[in-house]
Structure 1
Amino acid sequence: MALIERAPAKINLSLDVLRKRADGLHDVEMIMTTIDLSDRVEMFSLQEDKIEISLESRFVPSDERNLAYKAAVAFKRRYGIKKGVHILIEKSIPVSAGLGGGSADAAAVLRGLNRLWNLNIPLDELAALGATIGADISFCVYGSTAIARGYGEKIEKLASPPPCWVVLAKPNIGVSTWKIFNRVNVDELYHPKTPLVIKALEEKDFPMLCANIGNSLESITCSMYPEVKQIKQAMQNIGASGVLMSGSGPTVYGLIEQESKARRIYNGMRGFCEEVYLVRITG
């Protein structure tokens, strides 16, 4: 029997780096929401005790380095499963883009194996297991809109954003999250107004949301990759209401209320980079 899980991408409405911890990780405060750009993860149970990953992407490994593979290993180990699984991943989310594609795939595997083997494990427990694998996996287990604290493992659900369109523009580069965080000096960072983002969500106030989205890592990534700053400026010039880099980049997104305006901005951004997407917020 085949089982299919959608693995939606996320964007950061805010990303604040609060402090560096003794273990070398950083405490963060991030508001994330899902969008209707997703990978497709299909799982087949195997009698032989092994994990197989198949996907068509020269940028994503299909061995133990893959987060979906690590999620299957962790799941089987935690619950004493002796069966195997074949995982087929159809990628639509850009790789190393700041959109949480690998984390979304891993979360889909945790949810999918729970269903495939009829274990009825609560989402809270799956999210806690996901936190042992990668920082954004806990959020991706739940999806929707939430604030993540700690190193990303403490999740609190928030009100969904006001309905809007999202234009995503990704330059032809990949960004290493580790390299960006390695350059973080917390005292020199911009810190977004997270409480105002939360208020905008609660009041479904689109102008307030656009005025207060922010990302502590944006200046670091832009200094290393000038094309990210150029894409942001282009999207602002074309008329997107709220423009921000997602995650550690390099993808820049713009929030737009009207579909006709969103399509115009989407067409305009296609002159600046190859990977441009027009999607809706689903969180």
Structure 2
Amino acid sequence: MMKNIQLKAMGKINLGLDVVRRRPDGYHEVRMVMQTVSLYDKVGITVEDQPGIRITANLSFLPLNENNIVYKAAKLLMDEFSIDQGVSISLEKHIPVAGGMAGGSTDGAAVLYGMNRLFSLGMGQKRLMELGLKLGADVPYCIMRGTALAEGIGEVLTPMPPMPDCWILIARPPFGVSTRFVYENLHLEKIDRHPDIDGIVRAIEDSDLEAMCARLENVLETVTIRKHPQIEEIKNFMRERGAVNALMSGSGPTVFGIFENERECRSAAEAVRERGMARQVYAVKPFNP
């Protein structure tokens, strides 16, 4: 039996994010186009003879107990399959925390995938995704990865062809945004325009980068940018520096810009850093498994 495994837990951006309605149970129904990017956290899992779940992390403010999604993921499988051995999980974070890039969800997804391998649980992707939904709406997508249309609360996934080739500049400003705050302050009845999600899907199917970029839109910006106008400033700055377009990912505050080539992307990254507009800045590529 394998004793340990090292995994890359990849982040995502939303090329389009629309909220269709608020359901009676309080959840919001969405239509989103999701894309995995080559920015990743490192997740290491080691099987231990001693029962229990032990977590170490490179960031001092992360909880290392049952409040961490990687703990919840490990416990879910231990309970489901009556695993009596323990695991040590090491977490090296690079994806912005609470940044709208599914950093927590992708770490949870990696633990499900890794423990499935380590303990020879024999689950296929579909079963892993069903279990992942118990941890959060983004987890099934983080197991699937690639380019996808997400509907429902984010768990109804339709795989798509890869997005057109490009470079992506990721910039996380030095403040946090509460997802709960954003959704609680999203007043759908006051929103008069919605993102053209079908248009984004068509543009990706046609491999048309320009048409895709022209439709980048995120309805949650109506809340987050009102509270944090710096997000709009970063988007505009990226466009001035050569981005075809720029958008906030998820509920924010991370902003991404889409560039046609690496040189422009890296030069814009340097400019964002010099201006002190963002604490974490990365030049990455789209990732498709």
TM-score of the superposition, structure 1-length normalised? 0.97
In the alignment, the residues of structure 1 paired with residue 58 and residue 19 of structure 2 have an alpha-carbon distance, to the nearest angstrom, of 34
In the alignment, the residues of structure 2 paired with residue 228 and residue 9 of structure 1 have an alpha-carbon distance, to the nearest angstrom, of 19
Of residues 229, 236, 243, the one that matches 1:233 is 236
| 1:46 alignment partner in structure 2 | 48
Of residues 197, 203, 211, the one that matches 2:200 is 197
Of residues 260, 279, 285, the one that matches 1:280 is 285
| 2:246 alignment partner in structure 1 | 243
| 2:136 alignment partner in structure 1 | 134
Amino acid at match of 2:280: E
Of residues 156, 164, 187, the one that matches 2:189 is 187
Q: Which structure 2 residues correspond to residues 244-263 of structure 1 after superposition, within 5 A?
A: 244-263=247-266
Computed over aligned residues only, the root mean square deviation of the Cα atoms, in angstroms, reads 1.2
Q: Offset of 1:44 from its aligned partner?
A: 0.7
Q: SS state of the match for residue 107, structure 1? A: helix
| 2:223 alignment partner in structure 1 | 220
In the alignment, the residues of structure 1 paired with residue 7 and residue 175 of structure 2 have an alpha-carbon distance, to the nearest angstrom, of 28
Q: Offset of 1:249 from its aligned partner?
A: 0.3
TM-score of the superposition, structure 2-length normalised? 0.95
Question: Is the Cα–Cα contact under 8 Å of residues 128 and 153 in structure 1 kept in the other structure?
Answer: no
Of residues 76, 88, 91, the one that matches 2:90 is 88
CA-to-aligned-CA distance 1:169-209 (integer Å, 9 cap, x gap): 11101111111111111222341101111111111100011
CA-to-aligned-CA distance 1:52-104 (integer Å, 9 cap, x gap): 11102123211111111111111222222222111111111111111111011
Q: SS state of the match for residue 269, structure 1? A: helix
Question: Is the Cα–Cα contact under 8 Å of residues 59 and 95 in structure 1 kept in the other structure?
Answer: no
In the alignment, the residues of structure 2 paired with residue 55 and residue 211 of structure 1 have an alpha-carbon distance, to the nearest angstrom, of 39
In the alignment, the residues of structure 2 paired with residue 186 and residue 80 of structure 1 have an alpha-carbon distance, to the nearest angstrom, of 44
In the alignment, the residues of structure 1 paired with residue 176 and residue 62 of structure 2 have an alpha-carbon distance, to the nearest angstrom, of 12
In the alignment, the residues of structure 1 paired with residue 189 and residue 105 of structure 2 have an alpha-carbon distance, to the nearest angstrom, of 29
Q: Offset of 1:250 from its aligned partner?
A: 0.3
Of residues 23, 31, 34, the one that matches 2:33 is 31
In the alignment, the residues of structure 1 paired with residue 101 and residue 155 of structure 2 have an alpha-carbon distance, to the nearest angstrom, of 17
Question: Is the Cα–Cα contact under 8 Å of residues 241 and 264 in structure 2 kept in the other structure?
Answer: no
Give the gaps of 5 or more residues in structure 1.
Answer: none
Q: Which runs of 4+ in 1 moved over 4 A?
A: none
Give the gaps of 5 or more residues in structure 2.
Answer: none
Q: SS state of the match for residue 250, structure 2? A: coil
Asked if 1:143 corresponds to 2:145, the answer is yes
In the alignment, the residues of structure 2 paired with residue 130 and residue 148 of structure 1 have an alpha-carbon distance, to the nearest angstrom, of 15
